[in-house]
Amino acid sequence: MRVLMVGDVVGKPGRKALARLLPEVRTEFEVDFVVVNGENAAAGFGLTDDTADDLFAAGANVISGGNHTFDKREFIPSLDGELPMLRPANYPAGTPGRGMVRIGSTAVINLQGRVFMPEGMDSPFVVVDKLLAELEEEAPKVILVDFHTEATSEQAAMGWYLDGRVTAVVGTHTHVPTADAKIFPRGTAFVTDLGMTGPVYSVIGSRVEDVLTRFLTAMPRRLNVAEDGPVQMNSVLIDIDERVGLATAIQRVDRTLEL
C-alpha cells in the first residue's frame, strides 16, 4: 500500500497547487490513500464547506486539522458530519468533531502538541494511548498519525513513543518541510514536518510585507495569504506492508508549479 501525506494547504494558492499537483502525484506513484492537512485552506485560517470540497475533489481521502480548525465558525457543525474531516483528538471532551476516523483497513489519528501551542489541550500522549486501545478491537491494518505541533522535540518524542505501534507519524503546523524522513527501528515512518502546500514567495504562506510589518513595528497587522508567484506542494510518500501495518519506505515528494 502507498500513502501520501500532504502538508498544510494555505488559502487559494494552496488549493490550486493541490488541484494541479496531487492528481499527477497520485498517478505517478500509484498512491492508494491520501491525507491532507486542511486547517489553513480557507484564506489561511480554518476551513469552509466549499474549501473542504476542493480538497476532496483534488484527491484527499481524509482532511486533518489543527489549531485553526475552528476559525470559521460556520464550518464547525460540518465537523460532526459524515465526511472524513478531523480536528485534533486531544481537544477537551465535548468539543465538536472527532480526532480519529477509519476508512476500510486504514485509521487516521489527528493530534495537537502542547509546547508553544494554545493552552487547554489534553496530553496527546495519553489520548493516543486511549485511541490505540479502541482500535485494538477493530484491528485496522494501517494507522496514520498527523501530529500538529510547533516544537521539533515534541514531534520527535511522539515518533519514538509510537514506534512499532502505528504505521506513520508525520508533523504539520510549521509549514517548513524537514529533511529527516526515516523509518524508526520498529517500523514506523516519521518526518518532523511535512511542510506546506501554498505560495513559495511568502513567509509560511502569508504575504511578506504583512509579516515584516509585524516584526519591524510590533504593531498588529492582518495576515493575508500571498497570491503571487509559484506554488508548492510538500508531502511524503510512505510504502506500507499491510500484513503487519508497518512502513517499509518513506520519501519526500515536493513539487513546485508556476500558475
Does residue 68 have an active-site annotation? yes
pTM of the model: 0.97
- Residue-wise pLDDT for 185-232, tens only, equals 999 999 999 999 999 999 999 999 999 999 999 999 999 999 999 999
One of 68, 148, 173, 175 is an active-site residue; which one?
68
For residue 62, the surrounding DSSP H or E stretch is strand 62-64
Q: What is the pLDDT of residue 138?
A: 78
The secondary structure of residue 121, as a DSSP letter, is: P
Q: Say if residues 40 and 18 touch (Cβ distance below 8 Å).
A: no
Mind listing the domains of the chain with CATH numbers? 2-200+227-257 (3.60.21.10)
- Residue-wise pLDDT for 99-139, tens only, equals 999 999 999 999 999 999 999 999 999 999 999 999 988 78
C-alpha cell at 38: 486542511
Exposure string over 211-223, b if 16+ CB within 10 A, otherwise e: bebeeeeeeebeb
- Residue-wise pLDDT for 144-191, tens only, equals 999 999 999 999 999 999 999 999 999 999 999 999 999 999 999 999
Q: What is the pLDDT of residue 259?
A: 83
| Phi, psi dihedral angles at 55 (to 5 degrees) | -70, -40
pLDDT-derived band at 79, boundaries 50, 70, 90? very high
- Residue-wise pLDDT for 24-70, tens only, equals 999 999 999 999 999 999 999 999 999 999 999 999 999 999 999 99
